Structure 1
């Protein structure tokens, strides 16, 4: 037994409150090292003449990544408090592991063990419940639809007349979105994430000039209110994009600094290194990356903080938006985000707070800051396996284990799972224009744990490389739309809505991978319903045996709504799949 690989801490993703009466406990060990693990647990104040009164319960192997196994258990302490440790078994050794290290046997002393002092309900991570059943749709407003040509900026090009450039405009606006709300409804979307809509000079609007004003090319506040109301009438939530890490170059406060220098009342609103402040040839102030057009805001400054918190509250109070997506969230101080959460939740506790973070995000996901982050580790693993063929089925399963065990389960249920966005190449382009692979991507994304997001146009097979290529105009002419692909995506979204186990209410379990045939089989289980999904990520037909006992069961081919034989052997065509419901 390799003791150096055994790891647990009584916090974060290893020990946490799942709900007001349930604890989740996780243990890490060397891959393949342990054969059995038991949780030793009990109330810290229960003693007998033999010592501390505890009990044991077997843990289950949750999954494995490249190096480690992860063991998991759910337990309900009788009095919401618990001391606990682990009884570990390998093929030739058994030991007990607690906070003080290792012992040959249970010492019956609570101070040896890990402590979960008390399950306080207020400490339970709580993202809005509605998010778990939301299918998001990301819209880049400048490229979705032009509904009011009178708003077009100078130099606006005819819709879709050429590939986008960093400085090109096509006139997308709010009216265009309202005009095409039926398309979004038909797809089955229940949440829209808009990239920034506030006054700015660029087509992407990440260079905010005024956080309290709509960019005039999109419309006015009255039209935006109508858009939100139209969405809500159709069961669609609305999430806006907030750029609080940095402002735009033409933000009034920064222009005041450039004009008045040391005498500006806003000089402490930014991270200025010296005077005079000069943008070129290189900025002598902190920016987003090294872009002189995006000066970094000093969110520790009380005036900046109050201004931005006012912004956060304003769009909820006045327009009833349902969520905030926070740009470059990891570069803003944690204290600001804590106060931001308090501010917006005071207006509406059900608002969804989503941070843009591309790396391990546990520090932001402890209940005091964000409800979720954009789940790029999920994105990268799924694209590497299905779209790019850079990893095989076994490696994919290992990476998914890493994704899922990095966070508590209630955090994973609210994670924002995307495949493509305005920051990445189109997923069809990444898939080398293979639409069968694109279908597998959608199938896996929409049947996984979390809150999935579809980037506008991907349902029609829009192509394009990295920015600006991924920001093409939405095709509205039928001949430019892949209707068969649209029908496929619509059908998968409908399955997620109709069958709780298929979506976010089913426990995910990878039950088979094969690096030779490159197929995966996974299950989603909720109550007495199990859904099994097999995916063949290869260009050859294969026969697979579903590792499930169908005896006495009535399996149904859920995709075709047809009964299946009680036979575990199925054929999967090239890039084929099967969705099986078992009750």
Structure 2
């Protein structure tokens, strides 16, 4: 199996387009009534974030160390989250239309920033033109077999128990008619959509609920079509549980790595976790030994190519924000983020986490990015910038092999090794200073330099009590790290 090399070195930023930035450059927005920016996200409606707003913030994203964007759906839709697609060939006019996507791709690519789009191919919407055609023409429509219809006439708005909707719909929601993906015409349509936007210039697809399309040959052909158009295109699936069958080289390059998210928040946020569950995720306090066991199991699930291409995240638009789950402990968030930056797989920052956004799950986690910098946690933002800098600076943190060195109480230590380079990483998630002893063979090099903190004038970890640089003693001697609380 081979995966796109750029992904292994990327730092992603996930954007919910309606809530990231409003540019004032979308003419169509002058003709409609938008919600005020910052309206509570539990209210329906559109707040007017658009693709030009993303372009206007590329300097900010560049400074944050972002090299790839993952955008939630951008195609024409009657929902602010745009998972209710009604035209797969048109970017939503409220986002600026196709011209705005062209401008975003050109501007991002000029900065070596990739752009991955959300592909929603399991279901469409009631406004999707073939479904509307069936609604108007009944069984006489040539698109009748694009959907799984039980009887006639269609009931797309019925909500009564005696006469519910009468067609297959995602999660039984009548607004989301499911495609009949066993129909070759439907398959051809979806494959053409996938190829069209790759040819337009996007750098990959994040596939929404792909397991709902239980058709491995379709996904194999999907991969063939996309990779033929661009061999370096990234295919990542939204599957919340362990799913090795999807990463055998014939379907996806990677998955959204939710199984890694659980132990990370449960360990670093152990003392302040909220009572929260989502899908297959549960958050219960973990000690170091259980944490390492869980993380090691995730790292062993897939071959190394796939592991280095995983989309690693702490939260997303579908769940509560990481800081909220960890009881608004910003220090725990910093540790969890830094740990993500030292793991194989592409780290992904959910928009606004870096300035302190904290909230319960959908829809609250989809709040507007604060326009006023006075509302930002600027210390946290500075930390995120340093954390991404660390990852970009040392390739060993991106693709080096992982070997665990210690797991005891609230401290963990591991080594990343790549050729003749190594990094020794130590975390103390406890509330008191820890004297972390490493075995004589824990460090292979004869000398190490302190890599974190990045600033020489900051107080940081000490190796054998001596600040950087440090010479490692004879291999018969132990190495110890004096690690301050939550460092």
TM-score, length basis structure 1? 0.74
What is the distance in 2 between the residues matched to 1:548 and 1:245? Answer: 54
Contact 2:344 2:397 in 1 (8 A): no
- The one of 466, 469, 474 equivalent to 2:369 is 474
- The one of 400, 404, 407 equivalent to 2:299 is 404
What is the distance in 2 between the residues matched to 1:191 and 1:131? Answer: 8
The answer on 1:429 being equivalent to 2:324 is: yes
Q: How does 1:218-237 map to 2 (within 5 A)?
A: 218-237=95-114
- The one of 316, 319, 324 equivalent to 2:198 is 316
The answer on 1:157 being equivalent to 2:35 is: yes
Contact 1:551 1:566 in 2 (8 A): no
The answer on 1:137 being equivalent to 2:16 is: no
* Residues 379-430 of structure 1, C-alpha deviations (whole Å, 9 max, x = no match): 1121222233622111111111221222112211111111111101111111
Aligned partner of 1:419 in structure 2 is 314
- What SS is found at the alignment partner of 2:172? coil
The answer on 1:547 being equivalent to 2:442 is: no
What is the distance in 2 between the residues matched to 1:485 and 1:228? Answer: 29
Aligned partner of 1:7 in structure 2 is none
The offset of 1:433, in angstroms, is: 1.0
Aligned partner of 1:147 in structure 2 is 23
The offset of 1:174, in angstroms, is: 1.0
Quickly say closer, same or farther: Cα 1:475–1:564, change in 2 above 3 A: farther
Quickly say closer, same or farther: Cα 1:551–1:292, change in 2 above 3 A: closer
What is the distance in 1 between the residues matched to 2:43 and 2:81? Answer: 9
Q: Which has the larger radius of gyration?
A: 1
Q: How does 1:113-512 map to 2 (within 5 A)?
A: 125-148=1-24, 150-152=27-29, 154-160=32-38, 162-165=39-42, 167-279=44-156, 280-281=158-159, 282-317=164-199, 319-332=200-213, 333-387=215-269, 388=273, 390-503=285-398, 505-512=399-406
More helix by proportion, 1 or 2?
2
What is the distance in 2 between the residues matched to 1:242 and 1:150? Answer: 26
Q: Which runs of no fewer than 5 residues in structure 2 stay unpaired?
A: 274-283, 457-467, 474-478
The range that moved more, 149-158 or 480-489, is: 149-158
Quickly say closer, same or farther: Cα 1:511–1:338, change in 2 above 3 A: same
The range that moved more, 305-314 or 275-284, is: 275-284
What is the RMSD of the two structures over their aligned residues, measured on CA atoms?
A: 1.7
Aligned partner of 1:48 in structure 2 is none
Q: Which runs of no fewer than 5 residues in structure 1 stay unpaired?
A: 1-124, 577-583
Q: Which has the higher contact order (CA 8 A, sep 6+)?
A: 2
* Residues 138-172 of structure 1, C-alpha deviations (whole Å, 9 max, x = no match): 01110110002644374412222x32125232110
What is the distance in 1 between the residues matched to 2:321 and 2:431? Answer: 22
What is the distance in 2 between the residues matched to 1:223 and 1:572? Answer: 48
More strand by proportion, 1 or 2?
1
The offset of 1:571, in angstroms, is: 2.4
What is the distance in 1 between the residues matched to 2:296 and 2:370? Answer: 37
Contact 1:382 1:396 in 2 (8 A): yes
The offset of 1:565, in angstroms, is: 6.4
The offset of 1:574, in angstroms, is: 2.1
What is the distance in 1 between the residues matched to 2:237 and 2:149? Answer: 26
- What SS is found at the alignment partner of 2:95? coil
- What SS is found at the alignment partner of 1:273? coil
